[in-house]
Each structure stands twice: as structure tokens, then as C-alpha cells.
Amino acid sequence: MTTTMNTRTEGNFNYVPGSGIYCKDVVPQEDYAIAHAVFLDPPPVARAFDAIKAYLGSIGRPMAALCGSELRIPEALSFDGFGAFNDTWMALLDQYGLRAQGGAGPLGTTTRTNVAPEPGAGRPKEPVFFGFSYTVQGRRPGGRKTFVSSGAGELPGAGRESIIRLGDTSPDGMREKARWVMDSIVGRLPGLGVSVADVTTVNLYCVHPPASYLASEVLAPLGARAGLGVHWYYARPPILEVEFEADLKGTLHDTHL
């Protein structure tokens, strides 16, 4: 079944609407591909947009080509704290023209992953921009496609009560959390016109070692792409008591700035 998507014409991509904060997934338009960049020294969020705009301009791309955002915050937040953070974030999106009108109001047109590294794992003193995805002209070899997804945690609903296996960080609890997240993000791929064969990067964000469920719940759904392994970030999802987050990408290339 094909997923309904909106078009960001000036950015050369289509996106699955999510909320005013972010979109769920992005795929490029024909003859374009998604590339990815990481800041080796992540700048504060408020200053990062100018750095991203300058980089995109240096390669002949508009700011509207920005289609994925990866943030790092000092600590996981309460639901109220997360809401306040998002208010500031949406104001920045509006400042840089990174929302589009939707039926119920402005919609975010970049995906987002937003996690809190543990001490010793790159914990910032303030929210910073870790990396970003953007569209460029080009295609992957062999007809493979590109895409980027937002991070997803084991939170099917909008409130604390919907957290899967709330408070349970036992191996069985973490296995169920990981299974739900992977089923969710892998299950969205066919609707985007892509598949696990197009995956180039799998990112996990959790502080509980994933060894007991890594093969069965994370690698198995990836089929042959399990050979790529995973990037495990020793970090917490952005909302307190959510324990496991993951995202997927299929990119043309990666750059370190």
C-alpha cells in the first residue's frame, strides 16, 4: 500500500506528514538523492541552521533541501519539558522556512531524531545539532533508492501510559520494546516505495546493552542488510521512561564537517 505524501517542491523531496515538529519519512524526487552529514564538533541548535545553510549554499543547494535533523540534548525530558523544547524548535523551523502549510496548521518538513547521550558518550551542555540529511542531484548505483526516517521509540500513543512495558528494562522488556520499534520503522518502508535492501545505516539509541535481542529483533528484520551492523549510541530517547529508539537511512553518501 502506498503512503500518502506531501511534496516539498523547492527541496526536491516528498515527505510523510507527522506534526508541526517533524515529518515521519522523506524520499527524494526523481533524479535526486538524499545525502547525510555529521558535525564532528556539533554546534548549538540555534546556531546550527546558519552553518547548515552555508554548507548547503556551498554545494548549490537551497535551505529547503534540508530534510532530516539529528539533535543531541543534555538529558531526557518530561512530557512537559519535551513540549517546551518543541515550541522553541518549531520557532526555529519557521525562522528558516522549514515548515509547510497543512490541513491542521504548519507541518515540519524534516525528519528528526533527538536523543540524550550518557556522560562519556558526547553529552552536550546544551542542545546541539549532531547531523543532518539533505537532497542533492544524483542517484545511487544499481537502482537503489534513498530515504530518511525519523527516530521512533516504544511510544505508540501521546502519553506516558502508552509506553510499551513501562518501567521494564529486563531483557524480555527491552526485547518487546525493540520489536515494536523495528516493526514500526521497517513496516513503513514499503509505503515509501523503498525496502530494507535500500538501507545503508541503522541507528540504535539506548543505555541498556542490546546483546540479548540484537540478532532476533534488530538484525533479523533487515535481511541481507543485517551485514551492515548497527550504530549503537549510548544515549537515552528524549522522553523520560522511553528506553529504546531507532532510525533508518538509505543515503547516497556521508560527509563529516
Q: Is the pLDDT of residue 226 over 90?
A: yes
What is the pLDDT at residue 168?
Answer: 96
Q: Which residues have a Cβ under 8 Å from the Cβ of 257 and sit 6 or more positions away?
A: 37, 38, 39, 40, 51, 55
Q: Which helix (H) or strand (E) holds 68?
A: strand 66-72
What cell does 193 get? 516505495
Count other Cβ atoms within 10 Å, centred on residue 160: 14
pTM for this entry:
0.95
With a pLDDT cut of 90, the percent of the chain lying above it is 95
pLDDT digits (tens, 9 = 90+) for 3-44: 899 999 999 999 999 999 999 999 999 999 999 999 999 999
Mean pLDDT of the 79-99 span: 96
Distance (Å, rounded) from C-alpha 109 to C-alpha 94?
A: 11
Q: Is the pLDDT of residue 77 over 80?
A: yes
Instruction: Kindly write down the DSSP assignment for every residue of 180-215, as one continuous string.
Output: HHHHHHHHHHHHHT--GGG--EEEEEESS--TTTII
Amino acid at 154: E
Q: Angle at the Cα of 44 (from 76 to 238), degrees rounded to 5? A: 15
Domain borders along the chain are 6-256
Mean pLDDT of the 196-219 span: 96
Report the top-level CATH class of 6-256: alpha beta
- Average pLDDT score over the chain: 96
With a pLDDT cut of 70, the percent of the chain lying above it is 100
Assign 1 a pLDDT band (cuts: 50, 70, 90): low
Distance (Å, rounded) from C-alpha 96 to C-alpha 154?
A: 31
In this structure, the strands spanning 201-206 and 231-236 are: parallel
Distance (Å, rounded) from C-alpha 146 to C-alpha 236?
A: 27
Q: Is the pLDDT of residue 230 over 70?
A: yes
pLDDT digits (tens, 9 = 90+) for 116-162: 999 999 999 999 999 999 999 999 999 999 999 999 999 998 889 99
Q: Is the pLDDT of residue 101 over 90?
A: no
Q: 17 by DSSP, 3-state: which?
A: coil
What is the pLDDT at residue 105?
Answer: 83
Distance (Å, rounded) from C-alpha 134 to C-alpha 132?
A: 7
